[in-house]
Amino acid sequence: MITEYRTFLNPKKVYIPLTDIDSKIANVSVEEGDRVLVGQIVAYKFKGKDKTPVLSTVSGTVVGFVEKLDRYAKIVDHIIIENDLLMETIELTNYKDKLAVSQDRNFIHNVTTYSENISTAQVRTALKGLGIQKVTVDGLFTDIKFKGQTEHIVVNAIFTNEPFISTDYEAIIHNAEAIADGICLLGIGAGAKTLTVIVDKYMPAEALDELGKAIVDKNIELISINVKIIKSWDYKIIQKLVKHNLSLNLLDDGVLYTSVHAALMVHDAIRKGIPVTSRQVAITGDGLKVNAVYDVRIGTLFSDLVEDLEGYHEVENMNLHIGSFLTGIQLDNDDFAITQSVDSINVSEYREVEEDVCIKCGDCNDICPAGILPQNIMDAELRSVNSRIVELDTHLCVECGLCTYVCPSKINVLEWVRRAKRRVG
Amino acid sequence: MEFITKKPPIVGNSQRTYKRSINLHFALLIVAIAAVILKAYTKVPETVTYTALDQSFKVFLMLAVGAFTSVVIELFYSLSEGSTKKFDSYKGFVDPINTGLIIALLLPTITPIYVLILAVIVGVYAGKLVFGGYGYYIFNPALVGVLFANLSFGSQLTVTNTPLMLLKRALGGETISFTNMTDLFVGNYDALAIGTTSVILLCVIFIYLLITRVIDIRTSGTFLLTVLIMSFGVGFINFYVEGNMSGVFDYVVINMITGFTLFAAVFLVSESVSSPTSRETKMIYAVVIATLMMLVRVLGSQPEGVVFAILFGNMITPFINRTVKRSDNKTLLKTSLILLFTVLFISISLGFILQSELIDIFASIGGALL
């Protein structure tokens, strides 16, 4: 349960990973001892010909480079910048001159009118220049990237994470207008035909009101779902839009699927010209003494945040999970830096759940959004029958993890399906 | 700080395999207790020396011996494997007791105890343990035991004048009327098996097991629906008298509520380990079983065919599993429609075969076409 709202915007040092899960090569453009400003490019990371800048989130001195664990559980190079607490920014270009550049996002709800005169190219350039790309990485979510024909923008306004349901609607209540504008900007950037927002049927009325007021006459469709029933809602909604089975990366289907936090970042980047220097992270779980929603400077070490949260409970076995429980990543160490793609962190006691034998109840076959048969694929994989794996359309799996979720025997079905996919290529 | 990286702590899904077993266990215990009580109230013929209470005690003894034998066999098997860790808690006993109880419930009151013990040994050892125990067997172990008993000791298990037998005689041309419907619903009559008589109780348990998701409506529901359609088809062709549907309804009701029909729908057809896995294949499986059962009931020499039918269904489960590759709405609709037409066709054919008119009908259709 979230009990507090905190800010942690002035860490002594920030650690910014130079690469990520997709971009494996980085080209550093500063040296040790250089002074950098907020928003200054410290490196470029490459994925093939795709070039994304890595920005400094504080002003201060580069004190070195170090190999560390990142949030994808890989050891990568990080740049260390010592914060001088001055927060000097580079000269920023924004597409909304009237508004003064503000560091504090929480004042955005005062903004009432926006100039819509902005071109597709401007949006794309701004987002690329400010390094907003990997904001949502869990499950079906896509990068913010305009690849080929992007026809649909789908934005998810639901934050739920088991088992200590941590739902934070404060951000929506305060920034509804900004979120709506961010969605529109994404639509302009993509040249999209439809804009969709997915909300929870039982979300707080205030949040829904604010969001509704903001998106009215913006041509955004609001779809409410019942999150209490576990079902692949977003898959079904997107499938209705594109009218065929989805591929592993939704960008290939012409869909950009992201969260409201990303919409907020897009708004900040374009309307105010500020790069992503901080973001909201929900830190929950019974392993921690205090659960809170943090406004945290990107690059802060998680161990620093834990210190601010008065440390861990003394529990023997603990589990650290980043992102959604179905598709997120587990780390074996808390010495990692917050990046723009970290939306929630859960530290909880590890509860041993014994795996039983498969009783062939077929629950996984019923829930699978892609309409394939995980149990049969698992059976084929156990017997190593390649032809059967191909026959069962294993390639349609989007790795949503619902089969693992519903399994009454607590078998990691997704892992078997992944193995089968790997076997047949 | 170090952490362990294993599966995430999902607690929202409280469905567990052992919970389903325990729910089934409760249901079986209730049916067993009801069987004991019902036997105490069943009228015994005046020519015999035993009383109703003796019968009741015999039922209790059968149930106890069935469950006990099953547990003992599993215990010995675990000992021979070198690990009895499974039996540390009551959870380990639930599945053996379930199998033993089902075997006992599917045998008639006159069963000699040694036949029951042999049936349980065959069912649990040859039907379950040789394949690797719970979760791995390919035939429903309880039915393997029951089939063994019925085939090997058939003469010792003969029960006469059960409603289904009367029905068969009615199909043969005799006029038999079923007057006491209340007895049929409550279940205090002598039948082929001790646990299959009480319709009301089985219906309640059917709903309970559906809610707790032990059984699947797509298997049990399709099974019941198919039996309903087929018995209606056969009944309509054979018992319809101008403007009088009562014969047809009698036939349908007797087919639905007596014999093993309801017991099979509740405990046997939906047994998940030995049945197919996706919703389309579950429906195909149920239709195959119901069709075979009706074939045996209408045409065969045995009064009850569900044991053979389910074991045949288990046998072809791998094949049924292979027939469906995807499980989307289109496939579901297609499968349902094909199954519906198949069932209708078979029920009408069965009705005409009974009257030996099928050849005439084919001949007349052929004549009309030519």
Least Cα distance to A187 among A238, A123, A241 occurs for A123
Chain B contact set for A320 (CB, 8 A): 3
What pLDDT shows up at residue A117? 65
Which residues fall within 8 angstroms of residue B310, CB to CB, at 6 or more apart?
Answer: B140, B143, B264, B268, B269, B289
Query: A374 to chain B, minimum CA–CA distance in Å?
Result: 10
Q: Is the pLDDT of residue A97 over 60?
A: no
* Of A163, A318, A368, Cβ closest to residue B3: A318
Instruction: Please tell me the distance from the alpha carbon of residue B65 to that of residue B120, in angstroms, as a whole number.
Output: 9
- A411 found inside a domain: yes
* DSSP string covering B157-203: G---S-HHHHHHHHHTT-------HHHHHHT-S--SSSSS--HHHHH
- Count of domains forming chain A: 3
Q: Do B275 and A360 touch (CB under 8 A)?
A: yes
User: Are A114 and A189 contained in the same domain?
Assistant: yes
Same domain, A387 and A267: no
- Cβ separation A410–B272 shorter than 8 A: no
Tell me the pTM. Answer: 0.86
* A135 lies in some domain: yes
Instruction: Give me the residues paired with residue A8 across strands.
Output: A296
Name the amino acid, one letter, at A363.
D
pLDDT of the residue at A111: 36
CATH number at residue A174: 3.40.50
Dihedral of alpha carbons B14, B15, B17, B20, sign: positive
Stretch (H or E) spanning A389: helix A386-391
DSSP codes, A220-274: EEEEEE-TTS-S-HHHHHHHHHH-SPPPSSGGGGTEEEEEHHHHHHHHHHHHS--
Residue tagged 């026959």 (tokens): A391
Chain B CB contacts of A332 below 8 Å: 2-5
pLDDT surpasses 80 at A98: no
Q: ipTM, 2 decimals?
A: 0.86
| Structural domain includes residue A253 | yes
Q: For residues A63 and A122, state if they share a domain.
A: no
A254 in the Ramachandran plot: left (φ > 0), alpha (ψ -120 to 50) or beta? left
Say whether A350 and B324 touch across the interface (CB within 8 A): no
* Cβ–Cβ gap B9/A319 under 8 Å: yes
More confident site: A109 or A130? A130
Shortest distance between the Cα of A179 and any Cα of chain B, in A, equals 30
Choose one of A49, A83, A117: the last residue of a domain: A83
On whether both A73 and A15 belong to a single domain, the answer is: yes
In chain B, domain spans: 18-158, 216-324+332-357
Give every strand in the sheet of A50-55, ordered side by side.
A25-28, A41-47, A50-55
CATH code of the domain covering residue A50: 2.40.50.100
The span from the CA of B216 to the CA of B272, in Å, is: 9
**pLDDT > 50? residue A203:** yes
* Domain final position from A243, A271, A299: A271
pLDDT of residue A346: 85
| Encoded amino acid at A15, one letter | Y
| Chain A residues in contact with B272 (beta carbon < 8 A) | 359-362
Which positions in chain A touch B1 (Cβ < 8 Å)?
303, 306, 312, 318, 333-334
A114 is a domain residue: yes
Q: How many residues make up chain A in this entry? A: 425
Lowest pLDDT segment from A114-123, A231-240, B212-221: A114-123
Cα A355 to Cα A413, B16, B21, distances in angstroms: 11, 10, 15
Residues A31, A127, single domain; the answer is no
Assigned token pair, A194: 């439809």
- Helix orientation angle between B91-105 and B113-121, rounded to the nearest 10 degrees: 130
Starting at the edge strand that comes first in sequence, how are the strands of the sheet with A255-259 ordered? A220-225, A194-200, A152-156, A255-259
Residue A112 confidence (pLDDT): 32
CB contact under 8 A, A372 and B282: no
Residue from the list A351, A371, A372 with its beta carbon closest to the beta carbon of B9: A351
Q: Do the chains contact at A372 and B8, CB–CB below 8 Å? A: no
Q: Walk along chain B (370 residues) in steps of 10 and give the mean pLDDT of each run.
A: 74 82 93 90 78 88 94 92 84 91 91 93 93 90 93 83 73 65 75 83 93 91 93 85 78 83 90 90 93 86 83 93 84 92 90 75 74
Residue A374 structural domain: 363-424
Subunit contact B9:A349, Cβ cutoff 8 A: yes
Largest CA distance in chain A: 66
Residue A152, in any domain of the structure: yes
Q: Is B65 exposed, middle or buried (0-12, 13-18, 19+ CB in 10 A)?
A: middle
Q: Is A357 left (phi over 0), alpha (psi -120 to 50) or beta?
A: beta
CA distances from A313 to A131, B100, B342 (A): 37, 48, 63
| pLDDT score of A102 | 39
